[in-house]
Each structure stands twice: as structure tokens, then as C-alpha cells.
Amino acid sequence: MSSETNGTDPTNLTAPQIKMEQALSELQSSLYAPEDQASILGQEYAFDKVNELSRINHSPAEITILSKPIATFIPPSTKLAPGFLTQKNIKLDDPTAYTGSAKFLRTTFSRLKDKIEPKRALFNAALSAAHYGQAEYFEGYDGNGRRRDFTLAETVDDEPGSAVSIAELKGMAKCMERSAVAHNILTMYGVTSQLETGRLTIMKPDGTQSTENHAFLRITQLNGEEMLFDVMNPIYVDRKDGSRDAKPSLYAIEAGSREPVTAELIQQKRGIDGLQSTVAANLTFEFTDIAA
């Protein structure tokens, strides 16, 4: 689907729009395919795109909690450092972390494609695919910290530089690997994304406060405006059946700014009067200093 077909002047497209046009063209066969073919085509695209982007990557050999922003696809050869010297690194070596996102992309795009222009529909579908894709892969958000520490603990029998597969972190994933997988999903679907590191301060309504190292995403929208995507801390919404949905936490930020970002983490609880929004915590995101 060309820009001319959509009535868009290609000379006026922003860089994010150009990337989205290209992704839309590459994804046409799976996005517009009959339902019985869409799933296979979507997974094939994701698998092939991961291999393609892994071959041409320009990512560093290691990403730590003090790394500069990463704007390229993060391949299996890049190691993620979880933050403690006594823990093994993590590698993004399981392609099913990405192929599972295809169904979320297709579902959201199909719902939006007749309501908004295709590029915007794909952008929103990619956000949905990144959020729900990583959440499904890592088996939700109720992680087991003690089991994670055991899995990542270095032993005397480990080879120097050994790394744990993300496939072993299901049910216990944290911000670094969640953000890295979501970043890669967004990248393969044409969204301009950066993996950011820094610190997060959480102030709860009861006055308790905690500060921790954190990884999150900076996303550029099609109009050039930017959002912070906190993959680790979703917005919980009560469903009518008593279950909970975890929706993506997205916060508007000033384009290019590295000043701290404050935001309210909202949760929606269902009462006798329907859904009611409350502030679960006040958040302050600080970006790693990249001036050096």
C-alpha cells in the first residue's frame, strides 16, 4: 500500500512515518490475509525479520543498567546484564519471544484499519503486539524473585561469560529483558523505539518510597512526539468477570529531553458504580547520564 494510494505526499513524511510505510508494505500479506492464513504468515514474517535484523545489527556486545540508549534491534549475540556482578548475563535467543506477537498485531490492526489511516493503525497494533506479546511470553507479571535469583546465580561450574536464555526466565522476568523484547517487537514492526536505562522512584499512597535501577522505552510517534513506555509496570484494569487486564503504561514526554519524568500509575478497580480510577503510585523516571 503506497503513500500515493493513501493520498499522502511522500516528501512530507516524517522519519517514523517512512519506517511505518515500509513496515506496512512488508506486512501486507499477513495483515490482509484470510483468517486461516494470517497466523502462519504473521509468524513467518516475525521469524524472518528477527533473523534479518540480527544479521545487520549495530548493538553493543553488552547492555547494562548504565548503557546509552539503544535504538537498533538487540540480537542474541548482545548480552543483557541484570544489574548484579554475581549474576549471569541474559541473551535474547528465543525467536518465539517475537513470533507470538503476530496475533496481537493482526487483531488490533483488523479492529482499527477501517477507522483510522493504515499507518496509525499499524503503529497502535505494534504497541499492542509489544505489550501483550512480551506479557504472554513471560507468563504475566507475577514474577518469582527468589527463583529468578537462583536461575541467574553464577556458580563455580559456569564458563566465563556464560548467559541464560530468556526462555528460562518465564514467570520471573524483570524490566531489562521485558523492555528489550518489547523494543525488538516494536522495531521489527517499524516503530521508532529506544531502550533506555536509568532509575525509577516509586511513591505509594501510604508514603512508602523505593528507588531502583530501571529499563524502559522511549517511543517516537508518527507526528514526532514522544512517549515513555514502562513495560514492567502496566495499568491494571478489573474486568467484569473478576479477572484483571494489564494495559500498557504510556506517558507523554518532551522530545529529546533527558530530564526526569514524573507520572501517575493508574489502576482501575470495579465497584458498584463501575470502573473507578485510582492512583496506585507516583513515579519518577530518571535517564542514564549520557553526557560522558
pLDDT digits (tens, 9 = 90+) for 120-136: 999 999 999 999 999 99
Q: Is the pLDDT of residue 160 over 70?
A: no
Averaged pLDDT of the chain: 88
pTM > 0.85: yes
Q: Which is more confident, 140 or 263?
A: 263
Q: Which is more confident, 265 or 10?
A: 265
The tens digit of pLDDT for each residue in 166-205 reads 999 998 888 999 999 999 999 999 999 999 999 999 999 9
Going through the chain in order, the beta strands assigned E by DSSP cover 62-63, 79-80, 89-91, 163-165, 192-203, 209-220, 226-238, 244-253, 261-271, 274-287
Phi, psi (deg, nearest 5) at residue 117: -65, 150
Cα–Cα distance measured from residue 163 to residue 182, given in angstroms and rounded to the nearest whole number: 20
What is the pairing mode between strands 62-63 and 79-80? parallel
Q: Which is more confident, 247 or 58?
A: 247
Instruction: Indicate the pLDDT class of residue 154, thresholds 50, 70 and 90.
Output: very low
Q: What is residue 6's predicted lDDT score, i.e. its pLDDT?
A: 47
The tens digit of pLDDT for each residue in 19-72 reads 999 999 999 999 999 988 999 999 999 999 999 999 987 788 999 988 999 999
The proportion of the chain whose per-residue pLDDT surpasses 90, expressed as a percent, equals 70
Q: Is the pLDDT of residue 73 over 60?
A: yes
Is 11 exposed, middle or buried (CB count within 10 Å of its CB: 0-12, 13-18, 19+)?
exposed
Q: What is residue 12's predicted lDDT score, i.e. its pLDDT?
A: 80
Residue 82: CB partners within 8 Å, gap ≥ 6? 88, 89, 90, 152, 174, 176
Q: Distances from the Cα of 126 to the Cαs of 193, 230, 277, in angstroms? A: 11, 15, 26
Q: Is the pLDDT of residue 156 over 80?
A: no
Coil, helix or strand for 40?
helix
